[in-house]
Structure 1
Amino acid sequence: MSEVGKGTLTTHVLNTATGLPAAGLGVRLAQLQEPGLQWMELAHRHTDEDGRCQPLLAPGQAKAGTYKLHFETAEYWQGLGHTSFYPFVEVVFIITDPAQKLHVPLLISPYSYTTYRGS
């Protein structure tokens, strides 16, 4: 059984082409389930005017394991009248300490993206 902690998971998306937050971008969180190695969706949110959304894992929900954030970038860019080279961005990461607060920011433009472990 996976260890459960009090950590949270948040994200923040910035449009580096404009220097502004990416509002209205769809974000999905999934966890890799074993056996069978299938992804189970845990949350679906949209970013607010500041490019943030409600925590994807609230305190007490985090468990050790492999997760992915799926960012719906093509729909976001289409909404702004642009095309995007990347139809979506997926960031896969491992939670080893469920008590930690995790923040996974994403910086996007129509032809690039960058992510890192934030604080």
Structure 2
Amino acid sequence: MNTLSSHVLDTTLGKPAQGIALTLTLPDGNTLSGETDSDGRFKNWGIEDGFAAGVYTLRFHCKPYLVETHGSSFYPHIDITFELEENGGHYHVPLLISPFGFSSYRGS
């Protein structure tokens, strides 16, 4: 069974980024949404049977957070597209952000 979580860290402040809206596009084109909590994390997608294998896109709607926190944002949103394998286990997609840069990797 595949599970999915995310974590957003503001590298300028060295703190979690709370309140960033997330949109997950599933392989069939349907979408799920959520928002990072006070620790910058989100994992409650409402998928009880786990995620099927396939290609997903996770959109981080970061502009409102970055403008409110730092006064500007080069990125209106950040899309990360990744592939889940059959019975791949837990997938974690962290995002490190600042007003003018970002980085991501497969976490654990």
5+ unaligned residues in a row in structure 2: which ranges?
Answer: none
Say which of 24, 30, 47 aligns to 1:40.
30
**RMSD after superposition:** 1.5
Q: Which residue does 1:49 correspond to in 2?
A: 38
8 A Cα contact 2:2 2:84, kept in partner: no
Say which of 6, 11, 19 aligns to 1:24.
19
Alpha-carbon distance in 2 for matches of 1:100, 1:81: 36
Confirm or deny that 1:89 pairs with 2:78.
yes
Alpha-carbon distance in 1 for matches of 2:43, 2:25: 15
Larger Rg: 1
TM-score with structure 1 setting the length: 0.83
Alpha-carbon distance in 1 for matches of 2:8, 2:69: 15
User: How far is 1:40 from its partner?
Assistant: 1.9
User: How far is 1:114 from its partner?
Assistant: 0.3
Confirm or deny that 1:71 pairs with 2:60.
yes
Letter of the 1:13 counterpart: V
TM-score with structure 2 setting the length: 0.91
User: How far is 1:59 from its partner?
Assistant: 4.8
Task: Please give the per-residue CA displacement for 1:78-112, whole angstroms capped at 9, x wherever unaligned.
Answer: 22251101110000001112441000000000000
Letter of the 2:6 counterpart: T
The size of the alignment, in residue pairs, is: 108
Letter of the 1:114 counterpart: S
Identity of aligned residues (%): 36
Alpha-carbon distance in 1 for matches of 2:87, 2:4: 10
Alpha-carbon distance in 2 for matches of 1:109, 1:63: 32
